Amino acid sequence: MLSDSARKQFLRFCAGESDAAAFEAWVYAAADLEGEVGHGPYLDLISADYGGRDAHGARDLCERLLEQHHPGVVGRYRVAAILKSMLGDDTALLTGLRRLVALRNGDDRFEFIPIEFVGFESENELIPSPDRYHLWDQTLLDEKLASAKPYLAGIRKACEELLDDLRRQAPDVAT
Residue 15: Cβ-neighbour burial (10 angstroms; 0-12, 13-18, 19+): middle
What mean pLDDT is predicted for residues 51-55? 78
- In Å, what is the CA distance from 4 to each residue of 29, 33, 85, 88, 90? 16, 12, 23, 26, 32
Residue 87's pLDDT is: 94
Q: Indicate whether 111 pLDDT > 90.
A: yes
What are the pLDDT digits (tens) for 65-80? 999 998 888 899 999 9
Does residue 4 register a pLDDT over 80? yes
Q: Domain residues of the chain, as ranges? A: 4-69, 73-169
* Nearest 10 degrees: Cα torsion 97, 102, 105, 109: -90
Query: How high is the pLDDT of residue 104?
Result: 96
Q: Are 9 and 23 in contact (CB under 8 A)?
A: yes
Q: Does residue 110 contact residue 78 with C-beta atoms inside 8 Å?
A: no
| Cα–Cα dist 55/112, whole Å | 30
pLDDT of residue 174: 61
Residue 175: pLDDT over 70: no
Neighbours of 167 (CB within 10 A): 14
pTM over 0.85: no
Residue 142 has pLDDT above 70, yes or no: yes
Give the model's pLDDT for residue 6: 92
Residue-level pLDDT at 25: 94
